[in-house]
């Protein structure tokens, strides 16, 4: 959906094309992480820990989703409906998701105190506040580093965006190996087919010569930069060899119809395909929720698009035995104000909002925390970005209290000032 009434920040002038566009590094597709070999067995594939994040870019309204307040001055026009969890209700705009709530959990007490798009997104994806003193890797890079099997050669970190492909600059000190591969509009990566004018035999000979020259050079002048350069070429070769893994048209006509032929349906089916093929972290962006004007009409359309394919992928992961090893997160950079402005919109609100989680070690059906009657403040079990980041990692078996060894220097995986939401984990 087109959104001409967003706040006008730099982040949101870009959100529809490529959320967190400031992270995109551009550059050659030769730097892509790529695929090498399939998982050894279906059993091992099911046991592999994975993360699936839905980024509701712009700021999803908690009142029109996970924490409705019908009949109050802040509640808006929509009803609350019952879910598959007795006593738990969500907004009527999510009827299919309501049927999957016994597999999901809600954190209704998020308070990040941040209403800036860029800063809020940084906090939610890194678990830390943004500061000029340091840059930290986003959750996708951390998951790829901590969970992706080194011997498999799989790309650990893929982001399915509305448009714009390439590489993200989001791995910080973890290095480009763990940076996100951006799949613009869910299309296979660009420049991953051999030009018609080059035969397969010629291509093999060219790469053999390149490797020989590289090996000779590395024997005398090997550095971290040359290693990264060599790695990117080899991974690009492997990517080209298994390009079909990114082709959602390889899925059955029945599944394509079940998910829907619109972009988000196609992106969700692609996310399922990537997870099944062994990708560790997949992120699907759905934007732009920055509804300063006509908030209710916008959420009616946008969540109407989101509800069915999201519920479908949750059900599919469960039916295929993957949900116990796959963490699902639905997040934004913040929520939206309980106050309804004069344009029937809601503005930026970081003080009392919600995040949805499910799968892996997340307690199914749980509801953590509470806001007051009008949704203006957290009144029980307040948490913020740091607690959530620890929780995501511990849900997939990563000890978030440990450190990464970066060139002999220990750097905490997550902010040590925080801890996981223990009652959310089983």
Question: What class does CATH assign to 10-193+246-424?
Answer: alpha beta
Residues 6+ apart with CB under 8 A from 57: 15, 19, 20, 121, 285, 286, 287, 288, 289, 332, 333
Q: Give, as one character, the DSSP assignment of residue 362.
A: B
Phi, psi (rounded to 5 degrees) for 298: -65, -45
- Asked whether the beta carbons of 376 and 121 are under 8 A apart, the reply is no
- Take residue 9 and report the two structure tokens written for it: 């920040």
The predicted structure's pLDDT at residue 45: 56
First to last CA, the chain: 38
- Take residue 241 and report the two structure tokens written for it: 């060899």
The domain spans of the chain are: 10-193+246-424
Phi, psi (rounded to 5 degrees) for 64: -105, 15
Residues 6+ apart with CB under 8 A from 209: none
Q: Are strands 367-368 and 353-358 parallel, antiparallel or unpaired?
A: unpaired
In angstroms, rounded to a whole number, what is the distance separating the alpha carbons of residues 207 and 192?
Answer: 15
Nearest to 167 by CA among 18, 17, 31, 21: 31
Q: What is the CA radius of gyration of the chain?
A: 22
Question: Which H or E run includes 54?
Answer: strand 50-57
**What pTM does this model have?**
0.86
pLDDT, averaged per 10 consecutive residues of the chain (426 residues), comes to: 57 42 34 38 67 98 98 98 98 98 98 98 98 96 91 79 85 92 82 70 75 79 67 65 83 97 96 95 96 98 98 98 98 98 98 98 98 98 98 98 96 98 98
Q: Are strands 367-368 and 104-110 parallel, antiparallel or unpaired?
A: parallel
Phi, psi (rounded to 5 degrees) for 170: -130, 15
Cite the DSSP H helix spans in 180-262. 200-221, 224-241, 253-259
Give all strands (DSSP E) within 38-83, no chain letters. Answer: 50-57, 80-82
Residues 6+ apart with CB under 8 A from 59: 117, 120, 289, 290, 291, 332, 333, 334, 335, 336, 348, 349
- Take residue 353 and report the two structure tokens written for it: 């909002």
DSSP result, 133-159: TB----HHHHHHHHHS-GGG---SEEE
Instruction: Count each helix (H run) and each strand (E run) in the chain, helices first.
Output: 11, 17
- Count Cα neighbours of 44 within 13 Å in the Cβ-side half-sphere: 10
For residue 370, the tally of other CB atoms under 10 A from its CB is 14
| Helices 200-221 + 224-241 axis angle, to 10 | 160
| Residues forming a β-bridge with 404 | 411
Whether the bond into 288 is cis, omega within 30 of 0: yes
């Amino acid at each position: 959906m087109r959104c001409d009434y967003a706040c006008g920040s730099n982040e949101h002038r870009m959100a529809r094309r490529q959320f967190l566009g400031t992270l995109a590094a551009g550059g050659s597709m030769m730097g892509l992480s790529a695929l090498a070999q399939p998982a050894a067995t279906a059993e091992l594939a099911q046991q592999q820990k994975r993360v699936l994040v839905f980024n509701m870019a712009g700021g999803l309204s908690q009142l029109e989703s996970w924490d409705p307040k019908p009949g109050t001055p802040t509640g808006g026009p929509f009803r609350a409906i019952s879910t598959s969890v007795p006593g738990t209700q969500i907004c009527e705009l999510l009827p299919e998701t309501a049927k999957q709530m016994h597999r999901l959990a809600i954190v209704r007490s998020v308070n990040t105190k941040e209403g800036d798009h860029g800063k809020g997104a940084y906090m939610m994806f890194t678990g830390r506040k943004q500061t000029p003193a340091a840059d930290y890797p986003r959750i996708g890079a951390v998951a790829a580093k901590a969970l992706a099997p080194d011997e498999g050669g799989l790309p650990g970190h893929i982001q399915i965006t509305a448009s714009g492909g390439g590489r993200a600059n989001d791995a910080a000190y973890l290095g480009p190996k763990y940076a996100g591969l951006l799949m613009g509009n869910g299309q296979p990566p660009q420049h991953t087919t051999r030009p018609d004018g080059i035969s397969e035999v010629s291509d093999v000979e060219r790469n053999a010569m390149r490797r020989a020259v590289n090996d000779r050079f590395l024997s005398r002048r090997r550095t971290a930069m040359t290693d990264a350069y060599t790695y990117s070429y080899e991974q690009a070769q492997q990517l080209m060899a298994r390009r079909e893994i990114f082709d959602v048209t390889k899925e059955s006509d029945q599944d394509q119809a079940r998910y829907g032929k619109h972009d988000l349906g196609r992106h969700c089916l692609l996310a399922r395909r990537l997870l099944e093929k062994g990708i560790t972290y997949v992120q699907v962006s759905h934007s732009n929720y920055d509804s300063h004007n006509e908030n209710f009409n916008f959420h009616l359309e946008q969540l109407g698009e989101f509800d069915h394919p999201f519920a479908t992928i949750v059900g599919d992961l469960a039916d295929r035995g993957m949900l116990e090893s796959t963490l699902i997160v639905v997040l934004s950079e913040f929520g939206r104000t309980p106050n309804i402005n004069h344009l029937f919109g809601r503005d930026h609100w970081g003080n009392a909002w919600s995040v949805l989680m499910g799968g892996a070690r997340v307690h199914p059906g749980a509801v953590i925390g509470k806001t007051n009657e009008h949704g203006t403040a957290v009144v029980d079990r307040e948490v913020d970005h740091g607690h959530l980041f620890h929780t995501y990692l511990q849900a997939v078996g990563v000890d978030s209290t440990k450190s990464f060894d970066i060139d002999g220097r220990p750097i905490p995986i997550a902010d040590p000032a925080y801890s996981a939401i223990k009652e959310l984990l089983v």
